């Protein structure tokens, strides 16, 4: 009963602190860590059942990594692309090297500097995904790239935790157990085969009952975590591998959604425990290193990403927004350092230092990511150094184009076929260098440009264009585009995309000729088919054959339909 009362009080305090954190528009993780500090021996001294809370927190970490593993399917990794791979690996290398140098200058030992430097390379997948989702930027180019290099970081974490967990006692290269690593690799390979050939059929059986599916998921995730722990590795690896093994299952979205509430409760206790174990005895000695390393994360990390993306040919705005997403350390950083403490490589003071860095960087980056669109105009002229000069928009025909398509994506693919049938002169504008290269290889006239850039729009000869189509879903971008076109071309047909009825009406008011609303097109097309084919099954079957052939073509080109949003 004492444990029950203790947990009840702690959760009550957490609700209060998290509520304040929420009002300040900070991630709740900040509130959880602050709660831990409040209930620690330095303040209210409520935490007495440390071992019980520690067990709960380990379950939370396992569930957290299990759910992250569910999103790491081979299909997603394949779609990451060269830019995410290069940026992800480059950011890890440069951040760790510079971080290690800074730590050595600050007087830390080689082992401690190594741990801190590696911890600084990880960015919070959970926090970034939440912020990008709130901004509706997950489908933007910078959003996709950010998610891509976060996946690269997560894969690196798997390998790193495997190596760390194979050490015992003092950290040195001679302590690496080659046999343990080999057995770990064989273990992972075994579960990869199971995930491909066994789990799909098993999950289909369990999915017949929602409760059974939930129970199977918990048993699979915690069971593999325990197995890896028994084999001499960390439970974190086992939980992550368990998630990856199930990621190829058609039910992984359902599993993930069912596991989240359970994860949220237990992970709260992890961060509360983390905050309660902070050591403030020498806090004055930790403040200066914490501030220096936090500034490196808040400023240095974005600069590293912007440099890498500029080198790959991306515009400064894309690089700037993607760079801000790595301006914080993650829950993985804290888990890594906690693992180092439990292995005897680090002291509690280092855990406190990294936790302080986490508090500072997570708070700061939240504001930077949320208000990146408002911050960018003030810094734009200073960021040109991160943009390759040979990417300026060139080769535009002074006579103009009859048709212009802004944004080549899923919808743009179909529109381009219609443009060709019209046999008119057309141009594709896209700000993804890889897309431009792909179109150029197909002898399609295209240029690298950003529809948000007024100077770029002024450079286009839009006065003679007969039709301008934008497949860009951002409302502000389309408002700017329509406004610019209508100033110089009153007769042009302007078609834009919208996913919101109110925004569609606003686009019509400012001058759009037609607003494409993808969510309603499917029903409209099905209705037209019913009116035309009525109850003639043969006509529907012919339409089916055409559609299957069309889908195979799109699949071959690498297109996937966006994940459906849950209705609220």
Q: Would you list the DSSP string of 508-551? A: HHHT-SEEE-HHHHHHHHHHHHHHHHTT-HHHHHHHHHHHHHHH
DSSP SS3 for 474: coil
Edge-to-edge strands of the sheet including 446-448?
446-448, 426-430, 403-406, 467-470, 493-497, 514-516
Provide the pLDDT for residue 301.
92
- Average pLDDT (164-187) is 56
- Rounded to an integer, what distance in angstroms lies between the CA atom of residue 413 and that of residue 426? 14
- Report, as an integer, the average pLDDT of 60-81: 69
Angstrom distances, CA of residue 527 to CA of 484, 533, 540, 551? 36, 10, 12, 20
Per-residue tokens: 172: 């040195």
- Separation between Cα atoms, residue 566 and residue 411, nearest integer Å: 22
Q: What is the pLDDT of residue 179?
A: 58
Q: Strand pairing partners for 446?
A: 428
Tokens 């037609």 correspond to what residue? 514
Cβ atoms within 10 Å, residue 9: 14
In this structure, is the dihedral angle defined by the CA atoms of residues 471, 473, 475 and 476, taken in order, positive or negative? Answer: negative
Q: Which residue, among 46, 75, 99, has the nearest Cα to 276 in the 3D structure?
A: 46
By mean pLDDT, which of 43-52, 75-84, 125-134 is the weakest? 75-84
The whole-chain average pLDDT of the chain stands at: 79
Structure tokens at 251: 């039910």
Q: Residue 275: which pLDDT band, with cuts at 50, 70 and 90?
A: confident
pLDDT of residue 57: 80
Cβ proximity of 255 and 243 under 8 Å: no
What's the CA gap between 476 and 455, in Å, rounded?
Answer: 16
Question: Any idea how long the chain is?
Answer: 568
Does the structure show a pLDDT above 80 at 531? yes
107: phi > 0 → left, psi -120 to 50 → alpha, else beta; which? left
Q: What is the tally of helices (H) and strands (E) in the chain?
A: 26, 6
What six digits make up the tokens of 423? 């046999």
Tell me the per-residue pLDDT of 78-124, one tens digit each, with 9 for 90 and over: 555 677 888 888 999 999 999 999 999 998 999 999 999 998 998 87
State yes or no: pLDDT of 328 exceeds 70: yes
3-state secondary structure of 404: strand
Q: Which helix (H) or strand (E) holds 403?
A: strand 403-406
For residue 176, give the 3-state DSSP assignment.
coil
Instruction: Report whether pLDDT(280) > 70.
Output: no
The structure tokens 């019980």 sit at 52
CA 441 to CA 331: how far, in whole Å? Answer: 43
Q: Which residues pair with 494 in a beta bridge?
A: 468
Question: Which domains does the chain possess?
Answer: 2-384 (1.20.1530.20), 393-516 (3.40.50.720)
The predicted model gives 305-316 an average pLDDT of 86
What percent of the chain has a predicted confidence (pLDDT) above 90? 9
What's the rounded Cα separation, in Å, for the pair 459 and 202? Answer: 58
User: In terms of Cα–Cα distance, which of 203, 216, 353 is closest to 293?
Assistant: 353
Find tokens 């009952």 and name the residue. 209
Helix (H) or strand (E) holding 26: none
For 291, other C-beta atoms within 10 Å of its C-beta total 13
């Amino acid at each position: 009963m004492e444990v029950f009362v203790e947990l009840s009080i702690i959760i009550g305090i957490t609700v209060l602190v998290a509520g304040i954190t929420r009002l300040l528009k900070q991630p709740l993780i900040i509130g959880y860590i602050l709660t831990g500090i409040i209930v620690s021996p330095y303040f209210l001294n409520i935490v007495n059942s440390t071992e019980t809370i520690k067990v709960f927190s380990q379950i939370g970490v396992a569930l957290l990594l299990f759910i992250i593993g569910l999103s790491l399917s081979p299909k997603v990794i394949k779609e990451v692309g060269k830019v995410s791979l290069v940026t992800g690996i480059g950011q890890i290398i440069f951040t760790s090297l510079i971080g290690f140098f800074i730590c050595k200058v600050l007087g830390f030992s080689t082992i401690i500097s190594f741990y801190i430097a590696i911890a600084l390379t990880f960015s919070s997948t959970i926090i970034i995904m939440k912020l990008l989702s709130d901004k509706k930027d997950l489908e933007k180019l910078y959003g996709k790239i950010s998610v891509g290099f976060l996946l690269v970081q997560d894969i690196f974490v798997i390998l790193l935790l495997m190596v760390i967990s194979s050490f015992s006692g003092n950290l040195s290269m001679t302590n690496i157990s080659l046999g343990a690593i080999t057995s770990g690799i064989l273990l992972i390979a075994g579960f990869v085969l199971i995930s491909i050939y066994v789990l799909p059929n098993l999950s289909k059986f369990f999915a017949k009952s929602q409760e059974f599916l939930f129970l199977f998921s918990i048993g699979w995730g915690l069971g593999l975590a325990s197995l890896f722990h028994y084999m001499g590795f960390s439970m974190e690896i086992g939980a992550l591998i368990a998630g990856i093994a199930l990621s190829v299952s058609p039910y992984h979205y359902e599993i993930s959604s069912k596991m989240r509430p359970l994860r949220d409760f237990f992970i709260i206790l992890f961060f509360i425990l983390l905050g309660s174990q902070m050591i403030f005895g020498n806090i004055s000695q930790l403040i200066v290193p914490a501030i220096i390393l936090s500034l490196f994360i808040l400023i240095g990390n974005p600069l590293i990403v912007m440099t890498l993306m500029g080198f790959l040919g991306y515009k400064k705005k894309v690089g700037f927004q993607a760079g801000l997403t790595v301006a914080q350390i993650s829950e993985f950083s804290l888990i890594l350092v906690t693992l180092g403490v439990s292995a005897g490589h680090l002291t509690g003071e280092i855990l406190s230092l990294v936790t302080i860095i986490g508090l500072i960087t997570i708070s700061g980056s939240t504001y930077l990511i949320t208000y990146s669109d408002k911050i960018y105009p003030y810094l734009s002229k200073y960021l040109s150094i991160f943009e390759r000069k040979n990417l300026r928009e060139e080769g535009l025909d002074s006579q103009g184009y009859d048709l212009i398509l802004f944004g080549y994506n899923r919808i743009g693919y179909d529109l381009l076929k219609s443009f060709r049938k019209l046999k008119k002169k057309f141009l594709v504008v896209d700000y993804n260098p890889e897309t431009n290269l792909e179109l150029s290889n197909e002898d399609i006239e295209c240029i690298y440009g950003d529809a948000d850039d007024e100077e770029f729009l002024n450079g286009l000869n839009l006065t003679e264009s007969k039709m301008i189509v934008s497949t860009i879903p951002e409302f502000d971008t389309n408002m700017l585009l329509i406004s610019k076109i209508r100033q110089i071309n009153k007769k042009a047909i302007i078609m834009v995309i919208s996913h919101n009825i109110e925004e569609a009406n606003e686009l019509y008011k400012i001058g759009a000729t037609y607003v494409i609303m993808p969510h309603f097109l499917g029903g409209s097309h099905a209705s037209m088919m019913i009116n035309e084919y009525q109850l003639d099954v043969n006509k529907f079957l012919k339409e089916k054959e055409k559609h299957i052939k069309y889908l195979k073509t799109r699949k071959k080109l690498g297109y996937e339909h966006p994940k459906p949003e849950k209705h609220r």
